[in-house]
A and B are shown apart, each in its own frame.
Chain A
Amino acid sequence: MQSRRETDRKTAWCRSLLAAALMAILVAPGSGQAADRKKSQGKKSTARKSTAGKSSTRRRAAPTAALTGSAREIVDYTNSQIKQGWTDNEIKPSALASDAEWIRRVHLDLVGAIPSLETVEAFLKDRDTTKRTKLIDNLLDDPGYVRNFTTIWSNLLIGRQTPRRVSRGGMRKFLREAFARNRPWDKVVFDLVSAEGHFERNGAVNYLLAQMTMRDDGVQATAKTTRLFMGIQVQCTQCHNHPFNDWKQNQFWEFNNFFRQARRVDHRKYDPKSGRMVDDYSELVFTDFNEKVFFEQRAGTLQMVEPRFFKTRVDAKPSTDLRKELARLMVAGENPLIAKAMVNRMWGKFFGYGFTKPLDDMGPHNPSTHPELLDRLSREFVKSGYDIKQLIRWICNAESYHLTSRLGADNAVDNPAAGEAPLFSHMYVKGLEAEQLYDSLIVATGAHKAGGSGWEESERQRQTWLRQFVIAFGTDENDEATTFNGTIPQALMMMNGDLVDKATSAERGSFLNKMLSGAGTDATRVRRLFLSTLTREPTRRELAAAQQLLKENRNSPITAYQDLYWALLNSNEFIFNH
């Protein structure tokens, strides 16, 4: 028994060692890589010849030719590094995505919902060769960008289910300001780690309040902060040394030390209506912490630790604000972990896979797929002043982001869903997040225009709808899973739920109603339904099937349109971002 457990470990350990060794060879200048490059150069030219005749789209001008200056240089570097992976693995990338495929993707990724019919039609007509780069810029200035990234980071920081005595509103307000003003990422991280005060007046405190739902001496705050912002998983070193690298148990507790002065104060107030005391506001305050921190080693002995950030010791006096010290150390340097972690997370957001898997487990035991690229992008990110929009611009302008999700003739091995390292030679199909689906249904169906309810009410409805898909794990780390992606409950919700039912209702003011009362042939109407949901024209077979449907429901064309619309919204193509 003992031996099998050892084998488990050893195989994983050996695998990571082997991978690390391979990486070392690849990275070593002048050795492996140079040789590989030379070897592949011969191949490259033959590859070009063979594809020239096959695909005209491949030879189209780069869609992001409008870039200039440092952005141009960084995107070129990114392209060359990614291409190197293709040549090394002897694959050829998929063709460029059509404008229709691409505009859907970039809207979902940047503003969190599919584009409206009008937007799609205008973009397809636009002859400007730099329109893709321009659209990226426009979407980054769209209020939808702020809302989308506020949602993404609220979920990451406090979860989809707001823990008791944490203010989701406060958290969102802080994030909204951060993304609207494009605050430098290091400043945002600094605030989240070091904030103090009232949970609505200083929304940043909600991050830590959500990690302090019980008295656990800051254990959860330690685990989450290192994982989320620095992309390293030290939580298992809480109880023992890291199994696959040289992180020691004391390191967890050294990090943990920084959080010991943080205290939450939950205020209560008298509620005259019920005559009872009820929850009022909560706040995060600084308290003197004079005790030493001890932890229990595997052998059962207690060891004392001092606050230490990797190799940097902090000279702590009782008056030293340790969280501020930690925040300062986290953001210091030319290429700190917070930059790498953010670049990796951001890349992963746009491609579905980052440079490491999982995204937030970087370290010598889990080498990244494109180490030089990750390194360069994070250095540039720091140099740019932690400019989040700039980072997004680099990623969205990179060639890989413009490739179709359709596999080419020669890149079937690029299949990270099967556990392969991603080579970014085609776009990977991603499931829509619950929020993306909800907001896309709103866009597709014009539900926001139909209903008369205000912003607060619609936000409340959105939150209620989203909550049905969350299951909590029942641990103190407030970790949660979603039953959303690819499950029967999701299918049932799409087939029979209120939202789709309302969308296809054709009541006054709805998209369907307006389209049916306006002019146009059946073929035009069918085409517009496809464009407004799947962002593409129907195929000939689909058009024929739709016409058949209309024919069978001659007496009630509205029924036919409703059912076609239902089928479009329920299709695999609608629920995937590709």
Chain B
Amino acid sequence: MTDHTHIEGLLGRVALADRTAFGELYRLTSAKLFAVCLRVLKDRGEAEEVLQESFVKIWRGAGRYQSNGLSPMTWLITVARNAAIDRLRRRQSRPEQSVDVTRIVFADPTPGPEARVIAGSETGVIMACFGELEPSRAEAVRRAYLDGESYDDLAGRFDVPLNTMRTWLRRSLLKLKECLSR
């Protein structure tokens, strides 16, 4: 049994309100999700609060994880990361988006099995594709994802105007996508 299948099975049990499965899911994934929150928030107290908040969302939303076509671990990481970013943006009083993937439900339930199979590249591929970007551009994308930096943060960090930063990043994302799709 792969981790993927095991986590998927646990999420299914959690959707059925199985507290034992929830406990096991917490044991298996909380350290990873805590690392995700810590990286974004850089504050242990806040990261603890957001981790707790994330697992509340996971308990309540486990039945919906299939609906946006994410793999179980990606869904869990995305729940925690988005909750952390939401907290970060509120701390900064920034107007950027707030996305709670546990609440997103689509009228047409899934992208279909084909899309699920093609969703995402093989592990390690994104690293290779990052290698094709200019190091500073790759760094900007990594900081946007891992540290939750906004366009404003990135423009300040790389000392370029906001619009230049947008253009840089968008071009880098396109290059990345082209590489990932090869």
Same assembly = no
Q: Which residues in B have some Cβ–Cβ distance to A below 8 Å?
A: none
